[in-house]
Structure 1
Amino acid sequence: MNSETLLEDSRIENFSVMPAPADIKGEAPMSEAASAAVRAGREAVRAILERSDPRLFVVVGPCSMHDPVACMEYARRLRALADELSPSLLLVMRVYFEKPRTAVGWKGYINDPFMDDSFQIEEGMRRARRFLLDVAELGLPAATEALDPISPQYLGDLISWTAIGARTSESQTHREMSSGLSTPVGFKNATDGDLDAAINGIISASRPHSFLGINRYGRSSIIRTRGNPHGHMVLRGGAGRPNYDSVSIALAEQALTKAGLPANIVVDCSHANSFKKPEMQPLVLADVAGQIRDGNRSIVGVMIESHLNAGNQSIPKDLSQLKYGCSVTDGCVDWATTEQMLRDLAATVSDALKHRVAA
């Protein structure tokens, strides 16, 4: 063992070469139908943020994806509901492949698609792209959380809305990445409820940046961005307290205005806003709908964690024991509850939305 070996990669087990983004994309190329759906979804979210479209956008779906069969069944149901509610709501399916962890745990479908600690990331990326393509070909826009800064090179062309999570809103890496994403980006407030991380993230992402990354051919590259003008705030509660109430919304509006930013707010009905109790999400949404009905104009979207079946489950050693259509991460409301929540939301806000105009 020479001195160079001792000084470099001393804790690396091995390197496995990952196919380049262009190769993965070549295996599951963008179709015309998928391209149209992604483009329409992005344009609709941008129009909502710019106030030329008075509707709300709703990011709704499983906390994380682990079973593409169940999630595709969910996507078909959501697609059918999207047409019915389109006069008031733009439905965007939540498709989360990567899960941040406070300590340890399953890191998501891309990292470990077989849920057996085999970490077949190459296969996870292939399957994730195939799933997103299938969703887009239904005519349904998709949303995801950008956690790994390399993943957007593989999947970004199939995404219509991106979230930066509470743990990464302060990250320079994620702010730089967001400045180059082709989607609108929602920055969540910090886990302690602080709004500054999200506000500074929005400001930073709106500026041009230069940073190291990879290009579509997998080559290490200096990426130079133009800046993303469609950053906005996502309120998810923090430090065990909700921040979706009218006072918290007003404070967020004031903070955004003080920073010279548009008062565009998305409310996450899950996480600390529902005390991580999925059955409380309908109460959060009803409160938010009431605020819009009563004249609030800053709330432009909501997020809901929802699956075919309610609650969540631990990952068993025997994967055949997994309950179909039930989350393996945060708890979700079931499909029947989701339908009722969305129909109630549309009915409550439809008249108020007709009066929304660009400032």
Structure 2
Amino acid sequence: MSMNIIRELPHPSEIKNEHPLSPELIAQKNMRDEEIKKVFSGESDKFLLIIGPCSADSEEPVLDYITRLRELQEKVKDKVLIIPRIYTGKPRTTGDGYKGMLHQPNPTGNPDLKSGIIAVRNLHMRALAETGFSAADEMLYPENYSYLDDLLAYIAIGARSVENQQHRLVSSGVSIPVGMKNPTGGDISVMMNSITAAQHRHAFIYRGCEVKSDGNPYAHAILRGYVNDKGQSFPNYHYEDLYRLAQTYAEKNLQNPALIVDTNHSNSGKQYLEQIRIAKEILHSMRHSTDIAKLVKGLMIESYIEDGAQKIGENIYGKSITDPCLGWEKSERLVLDIAELL
């Protein structure tokens, strides 16, 4: 047999009973949900920054980083709403390599999915309890969303997942904003079809149950650049790209037209320092087009304590073990500059 069952994993209800949220944290999370939704509906003119490490690989430096974000949030609270990235599942282009805290709570250890589920939940719980931040995560595995559905503020559907039917259907039953990235090949119609599917009602199978979804009016676009057939990266954050997407949205019967621009990945060609220039160019485009200004709700930025990236096992505190990130000093300056430019 080519697939061997290691063990049966606990049901989400078991994990939640063992690691419950207090009534105070539930209320706090619900208040943030409403504040974030108002940005996507246009009721709030605050600018979203979904910012944090490429992958949340270790609890203490991630919480250290998020605590710093909490202090920074207070400085820009009139204009900017921060959602920390706590990305605990890491998609891999070839399937090989570190797959995130969900797979390996210890990046140098063996895969342990049960311990990973608990570690991920505890990290999100500590972030909420200690900083007041509910966070963003990528929905890499739709069936695992139920372990975190009472904690997350925002979900991203990755470029490799956006065409998958289960990701689209589960997104239609989620009560928080879900961002649909353009696929790695750059076909915008795939992303728009995914948003349409997520905003509609569906009946489907989820975790062995027949379910019905109400549709998610906060499903929206994320532009992250693309790769051509020769493996070369190309951006899609320029004025013309943003204006074209605004026109595309205008032709569709979609609720709450919205866009988050990913400043890294193929938009930067993974040149992480370019995120600073890219962020400011997007703000410049917003100032020159009311259509773009209405559409762009925020940015996604990869940032950590130390600049760049390291190999697993180097053990440099607060430095990414996946894609390179902006360090704290540059990140803080960028967030303050964004608030000043808005």
1:135-157 CA distances to partner (integer Å, 9 max, x unpaired)? 11121120111011111111111
Q: Distance in 2 between matches of 1:52 and 1:102?
A: 38
Given that 2:180 and 2:221 are in contact with CA atoms closer than 8 Å, whether structure 1 keeps it comes out as yes
| Structure 2 residue identity aligned to 1:307 | Y
Assess, with a 3 A threshold, how the Cα gap between structure 1 residues 126 and 340 changes in structure 2: closer, same or farther: same
CA distance in 1, matches of 2:122, 2:299: 27
One-letter amino acid of the structure 2 residue matched with residue 118 of structure 1 = N
Determine the C-alpha separation between the residues in 1 that align with 2:98 and 2:26: 31
Which one of the candidate residues 257, 264, 267 is aligned to 2:258?
Answer: 264
**Which one of 312, 315, 334 corresponds to residue 312 of structure 2?**
315
Match of 2:177 in 1: 184
User: Aligned ranges for residues 1-359 of structure 1 at < 5 Å?
Assistant: 10-103=1-94, 104-116=96-108, 118-137=110-129, 138-214=131-207, 220-239=208-227, 240-261=233-254, 262-294=256-288, 295=290, 296-316=293-313, 321-349=314-342
Q: Per the alignment, in what secondary structure is the counterpart of residue 300 of structure 1?
A: strand
Code of the aligned partner of 1:102: T
Q: Quick check: 330-339 or 106-115, which moved more?
A: 106-115
CA displacement, residues 107-126 of structure 1 (integer Å, 9 cap, x when unaligned) = 11011112245211111111
CA-atom RMSD in angstroms: 1.3
Contact 1:166 1:188 in 2 (8 A): yes
Asked if the contact 2:9–2:114 (Cα under 8 Å) also holds between the matched residues in 1, the reply is: yes
Q: Which residue type is aligned with residue 261 of structure 2?
A: V
TM-fit CA distance, 1:86: 1.0
How far, CA to CA, are the matches of 1:124 and 1:184 in structure 2? 25
Q: CA deviation at 1:89?
A: 0.5
CA distance in 2, matches of 1:81, 1:117: 34
Structure 1: segments with no counterpart, 5+ residues? 1-9, 215-219, 350-359
* 8 Å Cα contact 2:263-2:300 kept in structure 1: yes
The alpha-carbon deviation at position 43 of structure 1 amounts to 1.1
Partner SS, residue 156 of structure 1: coil
How many Å separate the matches in 1 of 2:34 and 2:159?
Answer: 25
Query: In structure 2, what is the Cα distance between the partners aligned to 1:25 and 1:292?
Result: 42
TM-score norm. by structure 2 comes to 0.94
Shift of 1:27: 1.8
Q: Following the alignment from structure 1 to structure 2, what is the Cα–Cα distance between the partners of residues 24 and 242?
A: 41
Structure 1: which amino acid aligns with 2:332? E
Q: Helix, strand or coil for the counterpart of 1:65?
A: coil
Q: How many residues align?
A: 331
- Measure how far apart 1:259 and its partner are: 1.9
Match of 1:297, SS state, is helix
Larger-gyration structure (1/2): 1
In the alignment, structure 2 segments of 5+ residues that lack a partner are 228-232
Letter of the 2:22 counterpart: S
